[in-house]
Amino acid sequence: MGAIFAPVSREDPKPGRWMLPLVVAGLIAFTFVFVNALPEAEVPINGTGSGTGATTTTTTTETPSSSTSTTLNPSVQEFIQTTRSIDRNVSDLATLAQQINDDWDTRDKEFAETRDALEELETQTTTFADSVAAIDVPNPAADDWATVTDSLAALQSAAADMLDGLVNAAGSAPRLNALEDYKAAADTITNALADVRDAVRDPAA
């Protein structure tokens, strides 16, 4: 009995084995096209980069603020408050001197009342000047403080001259001139006290 041979088929018995190479080839072609379609990578100006991609950095230069907060020493703060108190007292004395003289010139006050008021003004001025002279002054303000004390002495002298002008002068001119000297000395003290405060706030100025 002769061998029976089945006819040989020319068809590939495993057609699926050709699919994998085709799929791989398709993936390679798709990847090539996709990569070429991507935009070119940006290169940082400074030549450095990171794995997260290009980063644009904006640098802003700011000028440091020139204003600084300065905390004054408690003793300096107390001294400044003292100078403000002196300032107010000087202003009050000058106002009182003007009022006493105005009351006499308009004859709203009698001679005896005006004399007593000017005597009291002289006493108050002297007592005030002595109390200011006893104040401990910080070194940076020493020069300006000398102007304060010199003007307080002028204030005392003007107060005495007002009283003398009322009691001993024939006319009103000496008394009124002394009043102007008193007010001028008060203004000088006020200006000097402002300089004193500036000096102790900024010793380097």
Cα dihedral 100, 102, 104, 106, rounded to 10, equals: -150
- Please give the Cα distance from 169 to 175 (Å, whole number): 8
What pLDDT score does 160 carry?
98
115 CB contacts (<8 Å, ≥6 apart)? 163, 166, 167
Q: Which of the four pLDDT bands, split at 50, 70 and 90, describes residue 190?
A: very high
What pLDDT score does 198 carry?
95
CATH number of the domain at 79-201, please? 1.20.1440
Segment 11-27 mean pLDDT: 51
Report the 10 Å Cβ neighbour count for 134. 6
pLDDT for 107-159, tens place per residue?
Answer: 999 999 999 999 999 999 999 999 999 999 998 899 999 999 999 999 999 99
15 or 91, higher pLDDT: 91
C-beta of residue 162 within 8 angstroms of C-beta of residue 102: no
Asked if pLDDT for residue 177 goes beyond 90, the answer is: yes
What pLDDT score does 26 carry?
53
C-beta of residue 163 within 8 angstroms of C-beta of residue 119: yes
Residue type, 151: S
- Please give the Cα distance from 183 to 95 (Å, whole number): 9
User: Using only C-alpha atoms, what is the Rg of the chain?
Assistant: 49
- Cβ burial of 101 (10 Å; 0-12, 13-18, 19+) is buried
What pLDDT score does 22 carry?
52
What pLDDT score does 109 carry?
97
Please report which helix (H) or strand (E) contains residue 123, including its range. Answer: helix 111-133
What pLDDT score does 73 carry?
86
Report how far apart the first and last C-alpha atoms of the chain are (Å, whole number).
132
- Please give the Cα distance from 151 to 129 (Å, whole number): 9
What pLDDT score does 34 carry?
44
Domain layout of the chain by residue ranges: 79-201
Q: Which of the four pLDDT bands, split at 50, 70 and 90, describes residue 200?
A: very high
pTM of the model: 0.65
Segment 3-22 mean pLDDT: 47
What is the phi/psi pair of residue 53, to 5°? 110, 180
What pLDDT score does 65 carry?
38
Report the 10 Å Cβ neighbour count for 188. 18
19 or 145, higher pLDDT: 145
Residues linked to residue 71 through DSSP beta bridges, in sequence order: none
What pLDDT score does 115 carry?
98
pLDDT for 26-66, tens place per residue?
Answer: 555 544 444 454 445 444 444 444 444 444 444 343 433 33
pLDDT for 90-111, tens place per residue?
Answer: 999 999 999 999 999 999 999 9
